[in-house]
Structure 1
Amino acid sequence: MTIDPEAPPMFPQPTIDPAMAPIAPGFRAVNLFVDAHGAAPAALDPAILAGACRTVREGGPAWAEAHLANWAEVYVRFGAKPNRTPCSAQALRKRVLKDGSLPAINPVVDLYNAVSLLFAVPVGGENIDSYAGAPRLTIADGSEPFDTIANGEPSIEHPTPGEVIWRDDVGVTCRRWNWRQGARTRLDTFTGRMWFVLESLDAMPIEALDDAATCLELGLRTLIPGCSIIRETLAVE
């Protein structure tokens, strides 16, 4: 774990339900906790996202197909249909292969989308100040509320029983592991505290996961000068 001495000591600590072990025994992740109070993101060099899209069009990275197939297997294991609701990294990759590029959203989202494409790894970004309690990766019983937008209007859905979800004390924050992010905790401001999680399975080399986290960390430090960052690892036990 690398801790920035200027970072605040208290962030809610993500946990993994032990029941996840049979579903994804090789799961491991890196958390980046960012404090950007008083900071404002700079403009992201458009070449960063464009370069990531080019890497995908050229077939990279080397482990992409195996890793994304690994994610599809895990999705099937908890009852999801990966062709209909793929993991976030697969969804981004398919869009680039179809359209050739991704549209810009905002500097922080564009940065973590670029890292996801470059390393074929799901990357999530959340407003940790909007959380009630700590993030938990667990299995849904189907009663948990998930706030989203449907047809342009706020809507509440519920996960399928047995579905893998990220949640907090209020409800679901991301459905089908990393398929769809909720509205309540999404990043729409970049001057507070943020949580980024990079999620990998056995088919992705551990060194590549570390490189992806470093790439995102360096990008955030450039994008948000003066921010504080805590980096931690997380794995199924």
Structure 2
Amino acid sequence: ERIIKLFLTKHQWSPEQIVGHCKNKSIPMVSVERIYQFIREDKECDGSLYKHCRHNLKHRKRPVGKNSGPIKDRVFIDDRPKEANGERFGDWELDLIVGPNNQGAMVTLVERNTLMTLIRKLPNGKKAEDVANTVFSMLAPYRKHNALLTITTDNGSEFALHKEIAKALNVDIYFAHPYCSWEKGCIENTNKLIRQYIKKKVAFDNYSTEEVRRVQKLLNNRPRKKLNFLTPGQLFYQKLDETNSVAFDS
């Protein structure tokens, strides 16, 4: 605890930076999750450690409930290949957006290199089986096109069947650390763009499948500065053609 407090208060290092530094220096250290838990416990006791975190723990919007146990066999983002940083084609981020009063949900996916966005309503809410089936149906068309390398998501129980998704799509799935939404910032930013059209206070029943597809099309046909003002759709299908050509030539 003394080392954690020192790094937090003197250097304002994040839990990830603390763990990474200690690993490099062969210094015994608890996990990133445990450090966040320690900071939160300190805050609940009127401590001030949270003030030294970049987000002051404001990103901790989800309650830590007794029924929100860890997902089995997760592989955290620490072990994700370094090249899956958005520079190559085929690395995706996955999330859900949820309707008012936690009623209704939509799966959102974004390919990090091209910003190609996919949105699909979940007809039966955010049950893990429905989420797994929906993710599969959204990405299955790209299995044979070298467009599925990794998926990064968060620790919601709706992603409990990640191993089934990984096997069905032949893709590696990684998890951001709990309450570290910035580790999957591409999908977080994409969800904000989606919310321009699918409002937080409007029940999802008011959005038809056709309307959701229209929103998806609008986003994928929007020129993006990050893409030198190409559109996500344009660049995505260009990359598909390129990867298919390489596979065919080899």
- Of the two structures, which has the highest relative contact order with CA contacts closer than 8 Å and spacing of 6 or more? 1
Give the greater-gyration-radius structure (CA). Answer: 2
TM over 0.5: no
Q: TM-score, normalised by structure 1?
A: 0.24
**TM-score, reference length from structure 2:** 0.24
